[in-house]
Structure 1
Amino acid sequence: MLVCILIGGMYYALPYYVSKPGMAKELEPIISVDNGYKEEGSFMLTTVRMGRANIYSYLEAKIRKYEEIYPLDMILSYKETEDEYNARQLQMMAGSKLNAINVAYRKAGLPVNYKYKGIYVVQVVPGMPAEGKLQAGDRIFKVDGHSFPSSEKFIEYVSKKQAGDKISLTYLRNKKNNTVTVSLKRFKEDPTKIGIGISLVDDKVIIVKPKVKVKTDEIGGPSAGLMFSLEIYNQLTSKDLTKGYQIAGTGTIDEKGLVGPIGGIEQKIVAADRAGAEIFLAPNENGTKTSNYRDALKTARDIKTKMKIVPVDTFDEAVKYLEKLPAKEKG
């Protein structure tokens, strides 16, 4: 009986998530620019391991430093399923990669173009017409037989219709094309708006030369944006920004090259230190007292790491810091 209880505790999910330090992973094997320049050191992305808590992981997190417990509603949006959450994280990663490529290529003086392919369903709103017909991860590429050049045009087309009208959606799921008819309905939160009840993001391909591949597998979220952009830019230009150092970091990146805050900075500092990073780039948030940078500094002091913590607000700031960095002495 006791054995059954112990085993059951491993599989019984509690209404919490547990996060812990993940890994610091070199980006050169993940990112490949055609005929790109090599580097002496390395840029590394840092991750946090996040999972649904069971009895054991919950108790471990209670006693271990740098492991955090979060109620479900702090991780999942209102009535969001875990599948929708995972789809949202993967789409955020996809957007992060696009922004990083855009920023790096433009910094290198190279042209950037996009090809729009449709929209991805990130979440289905309960009680709205799309429920039971569409699901997170579906890629809609036609509405009433028409393709659109952007998600704005898709939304504009739908908004011109009336509640009760029906639209035909052609979408891709599990590599198969499907078509479904969905009625339009007013949103409870805003009766002036009608829709089918989905959250969406653009599905677009970035077109650049030389070509670049970014292989992230199942890593989700937008927090690797800054480090992606630095690795791509470094492969595009002849001057090696790593200067022989192991450089970790974190932070979102937008199309303008602004670096944004992320969650789990303390755990990422621990992961980077364990991996032997010598420099860590942290979002400065324009110097606010509660910035990622200040939390990173506090953690660095606490674990007594020799790793240098560097505050950055923009991609350009990070590049300037690295350009001024003296080359690491060999030996």
Structure 2
Amino acid sequence: MSDALEVRNRRWSTLVWGAIPVALLAGALVIDHIPGTSIRLTVPYAAEGPGPVFDTLGDAGGEPVVDIEGTPTLETGGQLNMTTVSVRTNMTLGQAIGRWVATDDTIVPIEQIMPPDSNEEQTREMNQQAFVASEASATVAAMHYLNRPTTVAVHDVVDGSASDGVLRAGDRIVKVGEADVDTPSDVQQAVRAKQPGDTVELGIERDGQDSTVSVTLGENPHEKGQAMLGILMNSEPAGGVSVHYNLNDVGGPSAGMMFSLAVIDKLTPGELNGGKKVAGTGTIDEDGTVGPIGGIEHKIRAASDAGAELFLAPRDNCPAVKGAHAGAMTVAAVANLTEAVNAMDAYAAGRDVPTCD
């Protein structure tokens, strides 16, 4: 065997054997479990990127995204888009690297998406609960902004509590003693002014009928001497008004502000957005306070790609907003519903809007 042939053979051996680790690595990049077993090979990271955009003034699945009953609604124009973040989990190493290299996704530890000791189904349920809670807060915030009356609804009764067997889920509390109440805090203040063991008269509405019930107050197990009814409460519009939100497969609380603005727009004359394409995000409290959310850079990107002209961002998100790619879109910083409405009015009129700068 000549020296030249020996060199060629050695090189071929090196190529062949050297390719085996590469092939094994390539396989590890794409398979999500060890063949023949249930052992998963996914990485403990998630990818966040721009998600779908929904016009809260429009329809989804053949139904209005925001559907108001019990009171006349008015014509709207333009758009009020709520934005979302798309989250990808259960990625293989190759998929995670691919999204990091080829997209603008953010790769984050899975703990930022899924709380420790919880699975995907539990996380999905928690996000759905947060979404439902944000819907209720959005409705009440809009009613307060419009100076429309609200009432206190019993969401649930704690088993074995003072109200167990007296109040029911769905009851509306309109009086505590002789005092009218229209928010849960009104009820709490009236009850906490009494002592455990005191009897309180509650004026309630049940199945369309007014009645009065008596509750002997219990004691808060976490606060000695503090009286409590033992119920979970939330606010609802009064006068037979109801608001329904028709979006599926969306979770979390960040649609709150845009839902509130859609309710306000449908119940007031004219176009709240001045006929412009407006997008935004932010949690909402019943008093109209707008709170920060996660993934805002992806939501700004999604809104810009969808052609939005103005984006309403929570003021507390300003540090992240400054690094986002907004393109030609104006990003306004707002802290409450009033500031959000004023920002849209200013933009439509060609005036400066408050920004993070």
Q: Same-fold call, TM > 0.5?
A: yes
The structure 2 residue matched to 1:312, chosen from 294, 318, 334, is: 334
Hey, what does 2:321 align to over in structure 1?
296
Q: Distance in 1 between matches of 2:295 and 2:154?
A: 33
Are the equivalent residues in 2 in contact too, given 1:20–1:68 (CA < 8 A)?
Answer: yes
Q: What is the CA-CA distance between 1:242 and the residue it aligns to?
A: 1.4
1:105 to 124, 136, 143: 143
Determine which structure has more spread, i.e. the larger CA radius of gyration.
2
1:17 aligned partner, one-letter code: A
Q: Is the 8 A contact 2:82 2:258 kept in 1?
A: yes
Deviation at 1:52, TM superposition (A): 1.1
Task: Please say if residues 92 and 222 of structure 1, whose CA atoms lie closer than 8 Å, have aligned partners that are also in contact.
Answer: yes
SS in 2 for 1:118: strand
Q: In 2, distance between residues paired with 1:226 and 1:27?
A: 11
Report the Cα offset of residue 57 of structure 1: 3.1
Deviations 1:32-59 (A, max 9, x none): 2243212120100000011313124311
Q: How does 1:222-301 map to 2 (within 5 A)?
A: 222-285=253-316, 292-300=317-325
- From the superposition, tell whether residues 297 and 65 of structure 1 become closer, same or farther in structure 2 (CA, over 3 Å): farther
Structure 2 unaligned spans of 5+: 1-22, 34-39, 60-64, 170-183, 189-195, 197-221, 224-230, 351-357
Over 3 Å counting, the alpha-carbon distance change for 1:7 and 1:326 in structure 2 is: closer
Contact 1:142–1:148 (8 Å) recurs in 2: no
* Displacement of 1:6: 7.3
Change (3 A) 1:64 1:112: farther
The answer as to whether partners of 2:154 and 2:233 remain within 8 angstroms in 1 is: yes
Q: Which residue of 2 aligns with 1:22?
A: 51
Q: Please provide the CA RMSD for this pair.
A: 3.3
Three-state SS of the structure 1 residue aligned to 2:118 is coil
Q: Is the 8 A contact 2:51 2:299 kept in 1?
A: yes
The CA deviation at 1:149 is: 7.2
8 Å contact kept, 1:23–1:275: no
* Residue 202 (structure 2) aligns with: none
CA distance in structure 2 between the aligned counterparts of 1:5 and 1:13, rounded to whole angstroms: 10
More relative contact order in 1 or in 2 (CA 8 Å, sep 6+)?
Answer: 1
Q: 2:343 aligns with which of 321, 324, 327?
A: 321
* TM-score, normalization by structure 1: 0.67
State the distance in 1 between where 2:319 and 2:116 align. Answer: 31
In structure 1, runs of 5+ residues without a counterpart are 120-140, 154-159, 161-191, 194-200, 286-291
* Percent of aligned pairs sharing the same letter: 28
Structure 2 letter corresponding to 1:241: L
Is 1:46 aligned with 2:83? yes
1:71-92 Cα shifts (integer Å, max 9, x gaps): 2223333322322211111111
Residue among 101, 106, 109 paired with 1:68: 106
Query: In the alignment, is residue 31 of structure 1 matched against residue 63 of structure 2?
Result: no
SS of 2:348's equivalent in the other structure is coil
CA shift digits 1:127-154 (9 cap, x unpaired): xxxxxxxxxxxxxx6448647679999x
- Amino acid in structure 2 at the alignment position of 1:322: M
Q: CA deviation at 1:232?
A: 0.7
